Structure 1
């Protein structure tokens, strides 16, 4: 068993020990940034920091990206927020995890989204403190996304659906190339959204040259996750 697999096994074991209820949900970039900032404020208010005075944010090498057939060039994709999980990850995998600042975490969220990655928030109620992680999933190597495309869903939709403005769309198809869930198709030179496949991740909205795509609430999916809903503020 590789060092990476052993480390992930330890982390999953820790999650089993600490977790009473586990949840996960897709979130667009702007909401991911808001949630990250809210979490940092929460831990600052509680005066919780990692060992050596570090912010309780750790960046970890994604096991999916590291072991994929065509892995992402940059494998540091998973952001853990909060203790004891951040320090546990860094302590047990010093070559694959490191502490990062709030600013670097936000920069990672934004740059990964620009590359077509999908944000997936994992959170859990814990006996020893809550666990939060934002995975910046690479569509080409993420096991979770691949399982969803294979119709065995492991994802909770973001609560949005992509909306096409027919007056702006020129039918170039560029956005369709980036959709990780195969929810887009061209018909009569206009982009069509499959409501059964669209997960509301928002990747396509940043790829449209004509600003013809936007996210709107999808009432058929669970509501979007906001800081007040997650943190109870």
Structure 2
């Protein structure tokens, strides 16, 4: 009965992303097993430095009463982008039909809340109106793709606020989603099955996961 209760329990995802002026902020909270396991990832800022982007991240968690915390600073440049491309290529190579496995898991995600507010202003009424229309177009396109990937269980709230007499830009996204523990476990099993069909697939995945472990500062 306990295993069944765990399998039917939800993994809760709560995210907040914003950009106001030059200030960027991203936060992701993950709750598992009715709050027994908690994880938080915070990226308080991203800064452009020459040809790279500097990211500052903070991680914290609570697992069975044990608190964990770490922070890290890293730069994303052309070399980092190349490594990401190579890892993605390896994932596809190590797993047969990886896209189908991922799509199945995404279909199990239940989106409970999606609020996205954007404020735009160019200082000119005509160009502000055009920019506002473009922002609406981008938002509806993103929402259309999202609705094809996950299950929307609440009406998304989209808003674009034009400022005709000022130059400004800010955007803020808040979302809440849930997925069954059983769905994540099923994806892991499917990954192992599909990876096992490729030569070196299983060992390749474990090597990738090891390389992707965060490094503390």
TM-score by length of 2: 0.25
Q: Larger relative contact order (C-alpha < 8 A, sep ≥ 6)?
A: 2
Larger radius of gyration: 2
